[in-house]
Amino acid sequence: MAGRSNRPGDNQGEYGEEWARDLRIQFEQMLRTKRLNEFEESRTNRSRLNSPDPRERASSSNLRAPSAGPPSGSRPSSSYGHGHTSRHESPASPPSYSSLRNLPKIPTPPAPHDRESQKFRSMLVGLSLTPTKYENPGLLDEALQAIPLDRIYSEAEEESQVLQAQAESMGDGRKPEWGYQDCVIRALLRWFKRSFFTWVNNPACPVCLSPTVARGMTQPTPDENAYGALRVELYQCSNQACGAYERFPRYSDVWRLLQTRRGRCGEWANCFSMLCRAVGGRVRWVWNAEDHVWTEVYSEHKERWIHVDACEEAWDNPRLYTEGWGKQMSYCIAFSIDGATDVTRRYVRKSEHALERNRCPEEVMLYIMQEIKNIRRANMSKEDRFRLEKEDSKEDRELRCYVINSITQAVVRVVPGSSSSSSSSGARPTPSTTSSNDDQKLPAEQPGRQSGNAEWVAARGENGRRNQQFQDPRDPSRR
């Protein structure tokens, strides 16, 4: 090929653009061949994916370098480099790349016979409807009537000015830690936790106000069902002279929650997310497979999604659940009016906190997330879709960084002397590194769960202790 040099004595070390182009074309063809092979195998017999056949193992030898390489100093060559004979030759069997079987993950719809994946997909599509209810103009107007806007905006303005003054006092041109809209959500969070909503462990007796004891579940009435109460907890007064029963409907209708103003984490996250939307925030409702829900709010100032838990009055502390509560999690899915995103990597940073993700294959999970995004963005303008795709790409890089940092920390811990040298140095992180890191609390500062009584928290394994002593089978604790 013109412009190329394959002389053994050429020790330049620079292979040229044509060699790089040939290598890229070869790689693309090999990757296409791999994908076609896997597609054909999945169509004929999905069980073959679990046990590669002998031909597949033999073809993986194509990835190995030949034992007798070119003379030292010579340029590596692709199959396109030595003459042009290789362009007309085909290998005996296409390479299957067994070692790279899982890279990259290709979104794949659930198979018709895979009932578990189909069931999981239907559940996630149903859950994705939750944030669409927050776009009801009448509901948002009702919410604004319940919020003391003067108080919220006054506190937000004061905090914003303080943060601005702190940033200016550093003299290095840095931005404030949080923007004004962030301060509005922070003020709303404080008011919601301290003044508006009430946590319910066991509701008090409606007759004598004595404590009650859980008696299981009961069927909802038509009125309760109309407000989204798919299940109702039943409690009985502990006073034997009274013995009255109290019903605790688990409402999912946000308008009804504005009236009752009580519940557990499900009601708290649902109502608070809607109130954040009412004051102009972009909101996500985050569902966790291990029985917890919370909120994410987009910060235009930080240009990223911020973790907010109204039950704990927690702000931007995503490691709270694993390193504070001692909770293990498998799926954390964030739903918004713009789609759905698997944000598990934001909340599960270490392998010891991760549970097995066995609801569906990861390829199916990618397909479900993309399917929900396509549904939500079908009627958007081209500009809005392009903007959201850029946000998705940036968030994906952020989530990948969490994985890389976790691997790096694990490697550093096993390197001899690395931990001792870092601890003995006593070096503090610079402001630039702390401001770019969303982990506002060190692991030692992570608190156990604050909402709920001690028995309820211990029964759920969320009090930060691995060895739990109390288990109450009578408590129908659900989110």
Token pair in block for residue 240? 């034997």
* Residue from 22, 309, 316, 438 carrying the catalytic annotation: 309
∠ CA(196), CA(441), CA(178), 5° rounding?
Answer: 65
Check if 353 is active-site: no
**What angle separates helix 362-376 from helix 115-127, to the nearest 10 degrees?**
30
* Residue from 22, 276, 292, 316 carrying the catalytic annotation: 292
Return the amino acid letter for 72: S
Closest CA to 394 of 286, 317, 333, 305: 305
Q: Could you please report the per-residue DSSP string of 341-374?
A: EE-HHHH--SGGGBPP--SS-HHHHHHHHHHHHH
**What angle separates helix 418-425 from helix 382-414, to the nearest 10 degrees?**
100
DSSP designation for 329: B
87-99: b (≥16 Cβ within 10 Å) or e: eeeeeeebbbbee
Token pair in block for residue 139? 């509901």
**What angle separates helix 149-170 from helix 180-191, to the nearest 10 degrees?**
130
Check if 84 is active-site: no
d(CA 390, CA 304): 12
DSSP designation for 443: G
CB atoms within 10 A of CB 8: 11
Contacts 24+ apart (CB under 8 A), 117-123: 117/359, 117/360, 117/361, 117/364, 120/359, 120/360, 120/368, 121/360, 121/364, 121/368, 121/371
Closest CA to 156 of 190, 111, 116: 190
The residue assigned the tokens 């989204």 is: 228
- Burial grade of 241 (CB within 10 A; 0-12, 13-18, 19 or more): exposed
Check if 309 is active-site: yes
Helical ranges in 92-251 per DSSP H = 115-127, 137-146, 149-170, 180-191, 222-226
Q: How would you classify the pairing of strands 339-342 and 332-336?
A: antiparallel
* Residue 309, helix vs strand vs coil: strand
* Residue from 265, 271, 311, 360 carrying the catalytic annotation: 265
Q: What is the largest CA-CA distance in the chain?
A: 102
The sign of the dihedral angle between the CA atoms of 263, 267, 273, 279 is negative
Catalogue the active-site residues.
265, 292, 309
